[in-house]
Chain A
Amino acid sequence: MSLTRTRTGTLLATPAILYMLVFFIVPSLILFAYSFWSSASYRIVPDFQFNNYLGSLASPVFWKVTFNAIRIGLFTATVTLILSILVGYYLVYVSRSQTILYLILITWFSSYLVRIYAWRTLLGTNGVLNTVLLQLGVIDHPVSAFLFSPFAVTITLVHIYLPFCILLVVSSLSEIKRDLIDAARDLGTSLIGAFFKVIAPNAANGLIGAFMLTFILVAGDYVTPQMLGGSSGQTTGLLIADQFRKTGNWPLGAAQAFLMFGISIVLYAFITALGRATGLIVKRRAKTEREI
């Protein structure tokens, strides 16, 4: 019975697995192979050399846009995570409001480009924010710096990725038993203390996961910084995308994509180590609990 079960399972899993192998794993491997190829006068030549990596690592432009992407990513992911924890805490422990959950889902599924466009409209020189501030007398002439600034980029990215992050945080907080918090509160811990002593250690892996996922998606998003950041919105993503569209040096773009990937992994390891060192992440006792 169990054997036929597994065999039917394997048969059923085949289409999806094959699909993902052909259209996800194989393309990623080809892209990786490309990163060692060379490009000469708009022709791509199979090769095995590290110049794409070494050249990028030695290029000040690459580091400038990469630091920009990392800065935007870290800052946005931090703000997004804090807001998500507030909403997540409310949804899990205070009120299981379906209305709020559906409002969040609606924003998650509202068009990506529309949201970018909405913030352009809001922050533009003749935009809503400027006209309202002018009428209120807060400013005497339109502030052009709202748009095309790191501020505009961050607020839009938070807006775009917050719904997704909230859903991740809600699912990781849902796994913590309410009794644990009640017990801590009964023993005299403040609400904020209970968060750091009970919720954070228990949900640490989920919260760090949510942070990193938001960071990777934000740091790789090149459309928003381009549309709202102007010249301050140059990120690695845009550099990579341009290699595949304008300049046509695909191997270089491939190498930069994998560098960005590597940097994300290093950051993840660093943040996890930081969490361990500060005691926010405690080695889970989940295993012993399960054994009991």
Chain B
Amino acid sequence: MLLRIIVWAILAFLLAPLLIIVLFSFHASPSLSFPFAGFSLRWYEELFGNAQLASAVIKSLTIALLTALVTLLLGATASLAWLRFGRAGRGMIEALTVTPIALPGLFVGVSLLVLFAQSGTQLSTATIVIAHVVIAIPILIVAMKARLALFDPSLEEAARDLGASQMQTFARVTLPLIAPTLIASSILAFAVSFDEFVVTSFVAGTETTLPMYIWSMMRRTVTPLVNAISTLALFFSIAILVASWLIGQARRRSAIAGRLEQLEPLP
């Protein structure tokens, strides 16, 4: 019982600061303190008239989408390879693809910066995407690993024994089994990219992503506009998370239902 209270207190600690930001984003006065002077949408109105912000949001969405796509491609092939490898091969894939998660963004950021400087690569949207993929792949691999541990390779073997070609086995057996997790985790890659700040600040050059725009606002003054942007960013992250979870659930359910349907016509 005591533990239960402590756990909920810890959750309150995690959630309260975020809720306060949401609350003050609707505050009618610029002050960031109580008493609360009533609700208003003025900060949101101000936001929607801001062209710089709009271009930062579009930039971030583009980068996040490209990051998710590249991560999906690399992650999907790596997962399929993982299924085919023994312990040593799996260990090698993991060592290479999971390590960046255990390093501060600073390290990944400066090492990519020296790579781009040394190879004479101009810093641009492309270099940001490259950097984001490096930190998104570990998350996808960790998520996939948990899922793939439950994968039964004998299903693939059965399909092959029954005469399915390698492509058919992949399209009708392997892919339907791993697709939900793959899609769900590439949505997480999207979320990671959309929010990334530290690595981006080293490889962005003159580009301004949404987190970098928020950073410049935070540094200049404490303006209530930041509350409104933060609230939108927060709800966007939650929406992505919910979407990722729903897709994972729905696909799994439809995959199971589809298989049941195929079974029914049998005598």
Contact = CB atoms under 8 A, between A and B. Distances in A.
Given A30-B111, A121-B24, A121-B32, A159 B17 contact: yes
B94 to A, nearest CB: 11
Interface stretch (A52-60, A130-138, A182-190, A276-284): A130-138
B113 interface: yes
A83 B11 CA distance: 10
Among B81, B105, B130, B226, max chain A CB count under 10 A is at B81
Contacts of A27: 111-112, 114-115
B58 interface: no
A213 B195 contact: no
B107 A257 contact: yes
Contacts of B99: 24
A110 B6 contact: no
A86 B96 contact: no
Given A31-B110, A244-B110, A13 B17 contact: no
Interface string B94-109: 0011011011111110
Contacts of B15: 103, 107
A227 interface: yes
B4 A9 contact: no
A266 interface: no
Contact of B106 (A89, A130, A132, A240): A240
B13 interface: yes
B120 to A, nearest CB: 13
B110 A131 contact: no
Given A111-B237, A117-B226, A124 B115 contact: no
Given A20-B97, A213-B102, A257-B107, A30 B115 contact: yes
B106 A124 contact: no
- Residue picked from A20, A26, A28, A86, most chain B C-beta under 10 Å: A20
B104 A221 contact: yes
11 contacts: A23-B131, A28-B107, A31-B110, A31-B111, A34-B114, A115-B18, A118-B18, A127-B32, A227-B218, A250-B114, A257-B107
